[in-house]
C-alpha cells in the first residue's frame, strides 16, 4: 500500500482531520521492523537525526504537529505519528530523557550515544561528510501514534 493511501485511510477512519497533510513517509534506521514495532507499542516516542544531513540535501526540517507515515522494512505503512515537538540542539546536549524516549536498547544515554555515534558516522561517511559529535547538531523529534492499521 502506498503511504498516501494509508494516510487517506486514516482520515476516512476519523483518526486524522480531513484538512491534515502528510509531511513524509520513512522507515527508522537499520532495524526498521523492530523500531516500527517499538513505535506501535508506544515504547518509542522520539527520534534523532542530523541537522547537517538536512542541510547538505537541502531538505526541510520536520515540523511540529506534522503527520508522518512510518514504514516497515518492506517499505509498507504500519503507523502514522504526529510530531509533538521538534528541536535542533547540539548533539552533545541530547540528554537521558530523550535517549529513554527513543525506546531502544537499555534506554540509557550511554547506550544511545554508542548506537548513534556509530549510526551517524556511517550515515555521514555515505554522504561524504565527517561526523564529529563535538560540532554536530541534532534534530530531536518527539511524537505519538495516531493510527495503526
Residue 28: its pLDDT value, please? 87
Mean pLDDT of 95-124: 96
Q: Is the pLDDT of residue 29 over 80?
A: no
Residue 89: what pLDDT?
98
Q: Where are the domains of the chain?
A: 3-148
**Which sign, positive or negative, has the C-alpha torsion 23, 24, 28, 30?**
negative
Q: What is the mean pLDDT of residues 25-32?
A: 87
Pick the CATH number of 3-148 from 1.10.3720.10, 3.10.400.10, 3.40.50.150, 3.40.50.300: 3.10.400.10
Q: What is the CA radius of gyration of the chain?
A: 15
Residue 133, judged by CB atoms within 10 A of its CB (0-12, 13-18, 19+), counts as middle
Separation between Cα atoms, residue 30 and residue 103, nearest integer Å:
15
Amino acid at each position: 500500500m502506498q503511504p498516501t493511501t494509508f494516510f487517506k485511510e486514516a482520515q476516512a477512519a476519523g483518526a486524522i482531520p480531513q484538512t491534515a497533510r502528510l509531511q513524509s513517509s520513512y522507515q527508522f534506521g537499520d532495524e526498521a521492523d523492530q523500531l516500527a514495532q517499538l513505535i506501535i507499542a508506544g515504547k518509542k516516542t522520539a527520534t534523532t537525526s542530523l541537522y547537517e544531513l538536512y542541510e547538505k540535501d537541502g531538505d526541510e526540517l520536520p515540523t511540529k504537529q506534522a503527520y508522518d507515515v512510518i514504514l516497515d522494512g518492506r517499505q509498507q505503512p504500519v503507523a502514522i505519528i504526529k510530531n509533538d515537538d521538534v528541536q535542533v540542539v547540539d548533539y552533545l546536549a541530547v540528554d537521558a530523557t530523550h535517549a529513554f524516549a527513543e525506546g531502544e536498547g537499555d534506554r540509557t544515554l550511554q547506550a544511545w550515544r554508542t548506537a548513534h555515534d556509530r549510526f551517524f558516522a556511517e550515515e555521514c561517511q555515505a554522504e561524504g561528510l565527517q561526523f564529529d559529535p563535538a560540532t554536530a547538531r541534532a534534530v530531536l523529534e518527539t511524537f505519538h501514534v495516531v493510527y495503526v492499521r
